[in-house]
Every structure is written in structure tokens, then in C-alpha cells.
Amino acid sequence: MTDIQQKPHTSRHLNMVEPSLWFKRFKGLIKQNGTVLDVAAGGGRHVRFFGDNGFQVTAIDKNIVPLESFIESHSAEIIEADMETGKPWPLGNRTFDAVIVSNYLYRPHFSALLDALAPGGVFLYETFALGNEVYNRPRNPDHLLKSGELLSLVQNKLQVVAYQHGIIDSGECPGVKQIICAVNNLETTSRNDGQPEPSCINL
């Protein structure tokens, strides 16, 4: 197993340039030219990736300086907000064709993330999980997902397309990760048996 050594978590997140392989894999599930909400967008690597692929991106972060150039280059909507102050969810009742979160965890907004999904919307979440403290930051258990936590979050709310939990020892931000792809289609199915429509996973 590779010895995972990296710079502090915050600076890593800002300096990363390659999009998540998980997000790349499942972008085809998102409505073509649809809207994507990037929560805690960091340096904007996913703003660039989804914008380059024809999506209209709304990015939110407490530090928007690294994101401002995407307003012109990718027609992105950039929202400055500190989401951990106890204030209400800053996007009200707006919905999006995808909600993506990478390397960020703030549990009080879990419900708001799901509520921000339009019918058929895709939920893509990738962040650190318990066990990561052995390798790198974050080490605070408040910032690490418990086993199966993302599955519990979407249970009876979204259709789980794919889920993984384990050590990722390659790429720009290795560690113990939990990742999920789920679709908001439990209530929009046309199947006679009431089951959700299957999604293509051979992407």
C-alpha cells in the first residue's frame, strides 16, 4: 500500500487541477447542458470541467477569489458564502440537474443538498472517511464520514447508482474516501412496478 503523504488539506483542495475520476465517470447521467451546483468549489477544477462539457455551473465557496475568472471564461455563477455559520442554506429553494461535492463535509446541510436536486438530478459526493486519520488530514472525526453514511443519507430518497468506500492511494488527493452517485428518480419513474428507472453505469 502506498504511503500517503500530502500537503495540508485546505491547500491541496485549492491547488488541485484534475477533475475527480468519479465525477468524470458519471457526468453522462446529468441532463445534457444542464445545471450543476458545485458546493465548496475550492480552486474551481470542477467548474472548469463541467463548464467545458457544456453544463451551466453555479459554484459556491467562502473564498471566491480562485473562482472569479470562471465568470467570464465559463459563464459560471459564483456565490460567496460561508456555509458553516449557522445561517440558512444560501440558495433557498433553487434546484439543479446535479449537485456535486468534493473533499468537503458539513452535515447540517445534508438535507439541503438533496433538496437542491431537480427531478432526475444526479448527486455526486466524494470526500474523506474514518480511517483517513492514519494517513493524512483531515483527521478530526467531525470531518470524516462514517461507514455507510452517504448510503444512509440517500436511503429512500434517491436511487443509488454506485458507491465505494476505501483507500485511494493515487491522484492529487489520496486518502480514505467514500464516494457515491445517486439519482433523484424515485418519484418520477414510469415503471408499472414503481421501481426507479435504471441508469447506465457503463460510462
Q: What is the mean pLDDT of each run of 10 residues along the chain (203 residues)?
A: 42 74 95 97 96 98 96 97 92 97 94 97 94 78 91 96 89 84 89 82 66
Domain-embedded: residue 158: yes
Residue 52 is part of a domain; what is its CATH number? 3.40.50.150
pTM more than 0.75? yes
Domain-embedded: residue 126: yes
Q: How many CB atoms lie within 10 A of CB 147?
A: 12
Q: Would you state the pLDDT for residue 192?
A: 82
By the 8 A CB rule, do 130 and 178 touch? no
Number of domain units in the chain: 1
Q: Which of 37, 50, 196, 200 is nearest to 112 (CA)?
A: 37
Q: Would you state the pLDDT for residue 6?
A: 40
Q: Would you state the pLDDT for residue 9?
A: 47
Domain-embedded: residue 169: yes
Domain-embedded: residue 144: yes
Check residue 88 and give left, alpha or beta (phi > 0: left; psi -120 to 50: alpha).
beta
Domain-embedded: residue 54: yes
Structural domain containing residue 152: 9-183
Domain-embedded: residue 199: no
The span from the CA of 174 to the CA of 2, in Å, is 10
Q: Would you state the pLDDT for residue 172?
A: 67
Domain-embedded: residue 200: no
Domain-embedded: residue 191: no
